[in-house]
Amino acid sequence: MLDIKWIRENPAALDAALEKRGAEPQAERLVALDEARRQHVGTVQALQERRNAASKEIGRAMAAKDQAAADALKAEVAKLKDELQAGEARERELYEELKHALSVLPNIPHDDVPVGVDEADNVEVRLVGEKPDLGFEALEHFELGEALGMMDFERAAKMSGARFTILSGPLARLERALGQFMLDLHTGEHGYREVNPPLLVNDAAAYGTDKLPKFGDDLFRTTDGRWLIPTAEVPLTYMAAGEIIPEEELPRRYTAQTACFRSEAGSAGRDTRGMLRQHQFSKVELVSITTPETSLEEHERMTAGAEAVLKRLGLHFRTVVLCTGDMGFGARKTYDIEVWLPGQKAYREISSCSVCGDFQARRMNARCRKAGDKATRYVHTLNGSGVAVGRALIAVMETYQNADGSITVPEALRPYMGGLSKIEKAG
């Protein structure tokens, strides 16, 4: 959420930033909403002051035995009470109207983010490794998995519908191995603290991490009003909600492997085959809570940590900085890491690392304070995939496939596979 004070003082800057994102100007409307709210607050305060003064005057009239004046003042106080109740109700309405208008406003891009319309305008910043030369026509992951008898979409559809998968045997273990490998890397070498968070969150957590109200249709909601998390970013980031964190304790770095749930609203017809776009998938998430001065440096560090996963697995990938038109709602700058899939003959996103500035911190009132200072300020938050486990499985399957349909297990994963070096069809 953006600061309305900043918007009042920088209306042209807001509209210029929105134009970069392909959005309509909003400053004039927001300033008008805020002005109406502020004027009404002044009216309510004046009513409160008059009520307090009239109440004191009643006492003085009673002491002077002026019953007529006292009765008139009592009538005025009763009227003021009704006007105050109505005024306070209207004040809440104006506050909620402004809050909603701000809550659907995207974040301001950093100055170095390339201006563009869509993914075609993203800018490559790194290319790591080379496309593997398999020496034969590569199969896609679902062709490999079904031929091995370890990836079952038909049975999953019977029990859950489309966009679900059942993994079994060594392929299920390979997915588990990938998650364990990532967590060990991020906790052992990159300084993240492992967390096992709830998979269900309330409105406050979803709102505080900018998933509500804009992305409600993309989430699954339970019958008791809670939300299945779309990513562990939500509970990990919300751990800082309402806190004033000593700055010497920052950065706080968290990682978690969780199931993630997305309705994939608006994605009909996209990636309908295989595991690329699922309603339920596993992901290792990275979250950092930092000071404003260190957030950009932390962004580079987080991205390097996600890239390290793919390097250890021997996967070819590229890293791109997203343009303003392709960047996520809450981000100020985003790096996407795109892994090469030989079966698809295409790069596909496997990690997205974003710095959000104080956008989420304002929504969830997460602040920090230097030792000895009275003043507080909002923290900066960052989140990224470290990486999507299901997509890493796809990349490993397609990159390490053999002509006979078997899959070589990368060296980095063999300790998690009981030493197994190859996955092949049983019997």
Catalytic residue IDs: 262, 277, 349, 352, 391
Alpha-carbon distances, residue 45 vs 77, 87, 99, 352 (angstroms) = 15, 10, 21, 47
* Cα of 352 vs its chain's centroid, Å: 10
Beta carbons of 401 and 139 less than 8 angstroms apart: yes
Determine which helix (DSSP H) or strand (DSSP E) holds 221, and give its type and residue range: strand 220-221
Question: What is the β-pairing status of strands 244-246 and 367-369?
Answer: parallel
Residue with structure tokens 């031929």?
A: 147
Nearest Cα to 177, choosing from 416, 399, 426, 419?
416
Distance CA 27, CA 5 (A): 11
Extract the tokens encoding 195. 């967390």
Beta carbons of 356 and 330 less than 8 angstroms apart: yes
- As a residue count, the chain comes to 427
Distance CA 283, CA 385 (A): 7
Contacts of 85 (CB under 8 A, 6+ apart): none
Distance CA 424, CA 390 (A): 19
DSSP secondary structure code for residue 121 in this structure: G
Beta carbons of 151 and 140 less than 8 angstroms apart: no
Extract the tokens encoding 316. 């070819």
CB burial of 344-371 (b: ≥16 within 10 Å; e: otherwise) equals beebbbbbbbbbbbbbbbbbbebbbeee
